[in-house]
Structure 1
Amino acid sequence: MTYELPALPYDYTALDPYISKQTLEFHHDKHHAAYVKKYNAAIADTEYADQPIEAVIKAVAGDASKSGIFNNAAQAWNHTFYWNSMKPNGGGQPSGDLAQKINANFGSFEQFIEAFQTAGATQFGSGWAWLVLDGTTLKVTKTLNAENPMTQGLTPLLTMDVWEHAYYLDYQNQRPAYIETFLNNLVNWDFVAQNLASA
């Protein structure tokens, strides 16, 4: 079962001026594509070759001898999830059940924003900020490098890539500005709501 590189869910210019065509071309066509290629090479002719990528991620997590498989599998999955976490004319505030749950679990939407911004800004080095479902409770977490919350029994609902290649061409070293823009102008709350509803 070869894992295919998914196309972006929007055009390369669709997130301008917040994320440039150049960033999306490098990030999707080079970085994401490389993870997919290396993952497929790593699982060829192994017990993982016919398993869904989510099952492989969970199966090899924490096994140092399979770190190559894990890193490429998780990064392939994380990036696909990240592309879907954004949309043209995104941002703003969620509505319906998601909005009510954010208010119930964080106290307010503003307190969620503060927690998510802090997670992204304080992730040292490369990694990800996440909104996850832990049982029936929404939480914000962050992971290092390729790590994914699903390996800890959590359900990812939203992610933001804070590896430098996600933002450096557009924001240089201003990660907080990228984070603020992601939340204000890019978040696909419909995708988050769908993930919550199907959890």
Structure 2
Amino acid sequence: MSQATLPDLPYAYDGLEPYISRQIMELHHKKHHQTYVNALNAAEQAYAKASTPKERIALQAALKFNGGGHINHSLFWKNLAPSAVEKKGHGGELKAGPLKDAIEAKWGSLDVLKKEFNAATAGIQGSGWGWLGLNPSDKSLAIVTTANQDPLLTHIPIIGVDIWEHAFYLQYLNVKVDYLNAIWNVIDFQEAEKRFVEGASAKL
């Protein structure tokens, strides 16, 4: 059985500043994501050794939580890029193409999507994730939320935003809306468009 490993970030820890601080990125990646990886590997090893259905059932919650944490964060890091506003990269830029066309067809503009996405995600009770997802059956975009570290299973994830406090509290304190407004400056729409095109062309 291959073990999960912590993926490298595709940018420096300070690459997303000023929108996400180096301190947050180091803590989030090195500590929180690494903890999910370690716990997932431990749970998978225990599951492999379990000899009864009761023992395997008892491990389901740990597999779901830590497996989801690993899956979600691995996507999240690739979902971000240094900001075009700060002349560091292409983060926050939605260029003409299939994803922009689909967003404008559904919401009229990116600004409307951001507003509705932020409202839905800020409304999560406790911890969770906000998603722009692609419905695999009708290929339509939708705003979806999941609780805790539950991965997005009903839709193909196009953009995911971590709304756990460890993702923003050191910088934005308890003002989730400020974090949600800021993160759009470092969303990697090029990566999101790749997922969108792959998902839209996939056969059921």
Alpha-carbon shift at residue 112 of structure 1 (Å): 1.1
Query: How do residues 1-199 of structure 1 correspond to structure 2 at under 5 angstroms?
Result: 1-44=2-45, 46=47, 66-89=60-83, 90-134=91-135, 135=137, 136-150=139-153, 152=154, 154-183=155-184, 185-199=185-199
TM-score (norm 1): 0.86
Cα distance in 2 for residues equivalent to 1:158 and 1:96: 16
Q: Secondary structure at the match of 2:193?
A: helix
Alpha-carbon shift at residue 137 of structure 1 (Å): 0.2
Alpha-carbon shift at residue 147 of structure 1 (Å): 1.3
Alpha-carbon shift at residue 197 of structure 1 (Å): 1.3
Alpha-carbon shift at residue 171 of structure 1 (Å): 0.7
Identity %: 34
Q: Tell me, which stretches of 5 or more residues in structure 1 are unaligned?
A: 49-62
TM-score (norm 2): 0.84
- AA aligned to 1:35 is Y
Q: Secondary structure at the match of 2:20?
A: coil
Alpha-carbon shift at residue 113 of structure 1 (Å): 1.2
Q: 1:19-58 CA deviation, whole Å, 9 max, x = no partner?
A: 111111110000000000000111016459xxxxxxxxxx
- AA aligned to 1:188 is D
Q: Tell me, which stretches of 5 or more residues in structure 2 are unaligned?
A: 50-56, 84-90, 200-204
Native 8 Å contact 2:43 2:59 kept in 1: no
